[in-house]
């Protein structure tokens, strides 16, 4: 019990340190943002045009897997527009009353950032519609014959919504956004640039091949790239190495059980369940989640996107299936016949 409590405390401290770490590396200007070129160019044009008209920005919806920079972009937009940003999340707004206090405190042109906006309750979502369209909200007090409607006039604000599951947004909410941007996984070159920039901020000496090696194992995600850089820095410090090299990176990430393709322990467990329990698939995500003891949303939002993008997994009408890429990665002959040494490869 003591060991378990200690592990939980260490995990919590690590997560809190990662939050501070990522905040310190967050770019402040669009010019500093690496990758997502089309999105950045469109945002630059919209911001410049809006500034010239002296108007607030239209509402913006950012979608894409976790860790790609949606929150960073929201803060950059506020910085570029020289306005205040108020950040919250869909699950945090439980009642319509919670939203009133937030909306009435927004100034003209201020940014309201709602992360995981697809998780807003239907009541709160409907309450948000008139606020987005006419910058007014109607709040009903009392009940029955004593019910009264109070109208609040809001200052023109910009709602920036972020979601990892854009398909779960209702058509009514999606239709009230003026701009839509989807963030995709980063290529190795952009990730290497991010690692190099982060290392410079942290005062860590790193060579180009080491930047590329970290980028290659970062699952196309800047947040993971920065996290791995920190872990490699810790490893190098303990091993008394003043410079991060490919050899140091490889040893550090191998110790963390992150392989050459960037797959971690959870990825391999996910693939192992499909391989061992379902002979390579197809398998329903509900069954996989139950076998792993994980939430279905965690698998769909966090694990599957990269495996799909990298070609290890495919979704079919019958469920999830492993691809030839997955079989080759683990040196297993494709097909429905499993080898005796299969378990040793995971």
Catalytic residues: 70-71, 115, 164, 223
Question: Are 310 and 261 contacting, i.e. CB atoms less than 8 angstroms apart?
Answer: yes
Around Cβ 292, how many Cβ atoms within 10 Å? Answer: 17
CA 329 to chain centroid: 26
CA angle 54, 56, 59 (to 5 degrees): 150
Opening angle at CA 130, ends 128 and 134, nearest 5: 135
Tokens 């194992």 label which residue?
Answer: 217
To which residue do tokens 């999606």 refer?
174
Q: Which two tokens stand for residue 19?
A: 């939050």
């Amino acid at each position: 019990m003591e060991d378990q409590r200690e592990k939980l405390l260490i995990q919590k401290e690590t997560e809190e340190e990662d939050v501070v770490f990522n905040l310190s590396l967050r770019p402040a200007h669009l010019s500093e943002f690496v990758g997502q070129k089309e999105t950045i160019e469109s945002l630059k044009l919209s911001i410049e045009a809006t500034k010239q008209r002296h108007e607030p920005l239209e509402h913006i919806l950012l979608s894409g897997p976790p860790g790609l920079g949606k929150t960073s972009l929201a803060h950059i937009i506020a910085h570029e527009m020289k306005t205040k940003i108020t950040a919250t999340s869909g699950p945090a707004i439980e009642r319509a009353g919670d939203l009133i206090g937030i909306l009435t405190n927004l100034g003209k042109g201020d940014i309201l950032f709602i992360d995981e906006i697809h998780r807003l309750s239907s009541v709160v979502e409907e309450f948000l519609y008139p606020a987005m369209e006419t910058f007014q909200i109607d709040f009903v007090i009392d009940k029955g014959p004593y019910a009264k409607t109070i109208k609040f006039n809001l200052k023109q604000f910009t709602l920036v919504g972020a979601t990892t599951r854009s398909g779960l947004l209702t058509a009514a909410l999606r239709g009230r956004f003026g701009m839509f941007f989807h963030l995709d996984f980063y290529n190795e070159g952009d990730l290497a640039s991010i690692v190099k920039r982060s290392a410079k901020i942290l005062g860590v000496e790193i060579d180009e091949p080491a930047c590329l090696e970290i980028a290659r194992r970062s699952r196309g995600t800047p947040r993971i790239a920065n996290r791995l850089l920190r872990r490699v820095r810790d490893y190098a410090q303990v091993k008394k190495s003043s410079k991060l090299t490919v050899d140091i990176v490889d040893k550090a990430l191998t110790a963390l059980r992150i392989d050459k393709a960037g797959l971690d322990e959870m990825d391999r467990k996910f693939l192992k369940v499909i391989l061992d329990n379902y002979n390579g698939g197809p398998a329903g995500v509900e069954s996989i989640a139950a076998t792993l003891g994980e939430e279905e949303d965690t698998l769909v939002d966090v694990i599957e996107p990269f495996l799909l993008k990298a070609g290890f997994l495919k979704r079919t009408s019958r469920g999830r299936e492993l691809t030839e890429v997955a079989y080759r990665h683990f040196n297993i002959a494709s097909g429905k016949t499993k080898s005796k040494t299969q378990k040793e490869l995971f």
